[in-house]
Amino acid sequence: MRKIIVGSRQSALALTQTGQVIADLERLSGEHGFGFTFEVHKIVTKGDRILDVTLSKVGGKGLFVKEIEQAMLAHEIDMAVHSMKDMPSELPEGLMNGAVPKRVDPRDCLISNGGLALEDLPQGARVGTSSLRRSSQLAALRPDLQIEPVRGNIDSRLGKLENGEYDAILLAAAGLARMGWKDRVTAYLPPEVCLPAVGQGALGIECRVDDAELRKLLALYDDEQTALTVAAERTFLGALNGGCQVPIGAFAVLDNEAVKSASQRLITLTGMVGTPDGSVILKETCSGYDPAQLGEEVARKLIARGAEQILADARG
């Protein structure tokens, strides 16, 4: 019987996500006769160590995955569960996404003191977010708000809100749902209002390309619809060469009525590039059956409208 070592960040959310995935894989392993057992190996990443600087200023890609990927390449771990939005658009040679399980809520959400919705927050209210993408779109919606950086795990951010450091904070709805804290949400922000991060709400199960045995199990865990939409979003991100330093969002949906074949469904992708201050928000929406071509098409259209200069200015 083989023991699968699963790498995970040490945050409560990361460990909860990893535990949920392991429970699913244990069930699939038993049902299909793999007989695997699983053990969690905790790893601290660069993004976890640097908490006093906003992500956009730390720089670099893969702030929350690089050390985990190095451990996988060194055969210290066999697989890892990542929030897909933390994963760079290109993976290191020798590694792959073995599964993209079914996506949960992709939206951003507002948690506020007093249960006030975004439109009801008073002028000058302090809103905390660690994301340039969120702050850019929020500034475009409510330029009167005082947007301030907030770092740390979900529970520590909620604590800062309760302590009165902020009037409201923005978080990914998926993380709160996975922690069982949906009751904390004041309001959900639809994609038309705040376009999510690439892959938000989805997980990526990363493994080594040469681990054929584990890949067979992970293939059973893959959700085709999620994989198609996330592939379009990630291709878009890769075409723009985007990272944490730039306000970029994307969200793809499937039209289950427009089906060419089992793996060819009409995908509609909306992509966004904005200036950090929210003074310019560029959006494009296109539809197609090939996720890679679609991601590149939306990126090309945004570049033609000036996105490349916005990206260059944001990177400094």
pLDDT digits (tens, 9 = 90+) for 233-277: 999 999 998 665 789 999 999 987 766 665 678 999 999 999 999
Does residue 161 sit in the same domain as residue 240?
A: no
Return the structure tokens found at 236: 């878009």
Does residue 307 sit in the same domain as residue 166?
A: no
Does residue 145 sit in the same domain as residue 31?
A: no
Q: Is residue 211 part of a domain?
A: yes
Exactly one of 24, 52, 78, 86 is catalytic; which is it?
Answer: 86
Does residue 9 sit in the same domain as residue 83?
A: yes
Return the structure tokens found at 76: 């210290």
What CA–CA distance (Å, rounded) separates 2 from 171?
Answer: 38
Number of domains in the chain: 3
Q: Is residue 144 part of a domain?
A: yes
Q: Is residue 195 part of a domain?
A: no
Active site residue 277: no
Does residue 8 sit in the same domain as residue 96?
A: yes
CATH number of the domain enclosing 236: 3.30.160.40
At 32-76, the pLDDT tens digits run 999 999 999 999 887 666 655 555 554 555 677 899 999 999 999
What CA–CA distance (Å, rounded) separates 244 from 181?
Answer: 26
Amino acid at 191: P
- Specify the pLDDT at position 51: 55
Determine how β-strand 146-148 pairs with β-strand 126-128. parallel
The residue range of the domain holding 10 is 3-101+202-222
At 205-241, the pLDDT tens digits run 999 999 999 999 999 999 999 999 999 999 999 999 8
Does residue 138 sit in the same domain as residue 97?
A: no
Q: Is residue 300 part of a domain?
A: yes
Does residue 80 sit in the same domain as residue 217?
A: yes
Does residue 115 sit in the same domain as residue 183?
A: yes
CATH number of the domain enclosing 156: 3.40.190.10
Q: Is residue 194 part of a domain?
A: no
Q: Is residue 50 part of a domain?
A: yes
Whole-prediction pTM: 0.92
Q: How many CA atoms lie within 13 A of 133 on its CB side?
A: 26
- Specify the pLDDT at position 86: 87
Does residue 305 sit in the same domain as residue 277?
A: yes
- Specify the pLDDT at position 38: 98
